[in-house]
Amino acid sequence: MIRLIIHGCNGKMGKVVAKLAKENPEFEVVAGVDKNTFPLDFPVYSDLKEVKEEADVVIDFSYHEAIPNLVKEAAKRKIPVVIATTGLSEEELKTVEEASKEIPIFRSANMSLGINVLISLVKEAAKVLEGFDIEIVEKHHNMKKDAPSGTALMIADAINQVLPEKREYVYGRYTKTEQRKPNEIGIHAVRGGTIVGEHDVIFAGPNEVITISHSAQSREVFGYGALKAAKFLIGQKPGLYTMEDLVKKG
């Protein structure tokens, strides 16, 4: 039995993780942390420092500003952390890196296994489709605060890893009056309704266009991925881990 603390437990994704964990005999949610401390099926605290229960892993679906305090306290308590929160600043990422010297930390901008297959495909496409223009269009619900999505940036970074010359990220084209440069990756954000998450990667070349797409039909895909990541962290050495590490392990 893997004992979980859900950080951000009263948010949309926190509730999804709690539901999936309750349905899975491999997991038990022993406590939650949230600024809204109304109780669920487990005790809820306003800070990890207040949690009395022993746990094996923390799963975080909160807000980027909460991450530094979370990882510092988790490092003190030697509890591994799964970070699914996006929009982290450079300073916040440095704090995560420091904490990963003490505990294993799994961080991914997207917990979907399907998105990580998409990333593998676009990396292969980028190697082959030399000279093609690359554009990324991401769509999310109207409550999402950060733009572009962490997943869109993760896709762009993955493409840049395999290109012989790094490309510049261009966020939208409003006010631009010159033609598109060959060394660009365009990244565009759509916000509306209840869209869970859609990502299209467009390779546009002479007389042909290839689009590789992923559409999340339910938030549960991210919850399943977070639980897989939590299970993966058990027994790992301190360090930073990604979905690529989980996929390699199978």
- Give me the percent of the chain exceeding a pLDDT of 90: 86
Query: What whole-number distance in Å separates Cα of residue 221 and Cα of residue 147?
Result: 21
List C-alpha distances in Å: 172 to 137, 145, 238: 10, 17, 38
Residue 235 carries which DSSP code? T
Q: Which CATH number describes the domain made up of 2-107+219-249?
A: 3.40.50.720
Residues labelled as active-site residues: 140, 144
User: What pairs with residue 186 in β-bridges?
Assistant: 135, 170
**Binding region for (S)-2,3,4,5-tetrahydrodipicolinate:** 141, 150-151
Give the H/E segment covering residue 162: helix 150-162
**Binding region:** 8-13, 34-35, 84-86, 108-111, 141, 150-151
Query: What whole-number distance in Å separates Cα of residue 71 and Cα of residue 156?
Result: 26
pLDDT at 56: 98
Query: What whole-number distance in Å separates Cα of residue 192 and Cα of residue 170?
Result: 22
Give the H/E segment covering residue 114: helix 113-128
Tokens linked to 86: 């996006």
Residue 58 carries which DSSP code? E
CA atoms within 13 A on the CB side of 156: 24
Edge-first strand listing for the sheet containing 2-7 = 44-45, 27-33, 2-7, 57-60, 81-83, 104-107, 239-241
**Is-contact 102 79, C-beta < 8 A?**
no
Residue 179 carries which DSSP code? P
Tokens linked to 133: 């223009």
Please give the chain's pLDDT, 250 residues, in tens: 999 999 999 999 999 999 999 999 999 999 999 998 888 899 999 999 999 999 999 999 999 999 999 999 999 999 999 999 888 899 999 999 999 999 999 999 889 989 988 999 999 999 999 999 999 999 999 999 889 998 999 999 999 999 999 999 999 988 888 999 999 999 999 999 999 999 999 999 999 999 999 999 999 999 999 999 999 999 999 999 998 888 777 6
Rg of the chain in Å (alpha carbons): 19
3-state secondary structure of 153: helix
**Average pLDDT along the chain:** 94
Answer yes or no: same fold for 2-107+219-249 and 113-216: no
pLDDT at 244: 83
Per-domain boundaries in the chain: 2-107+219-249, 113-216
Residue count of the chain: 250
Which residue, among 213, 237, 243, has the nearest Cα to 225 in the 3D structure? 243
**Binding region for NADP(+):** 35
pLDDT at 24: 97
**Binding region for NAD(+):** 8-13, 34, 84-86, 108-111
Q: Which CATH number describes the domain made up of 113-216?
A: 3.30.360.10
* Cα angle 231, 194, 113; round to 5: 30
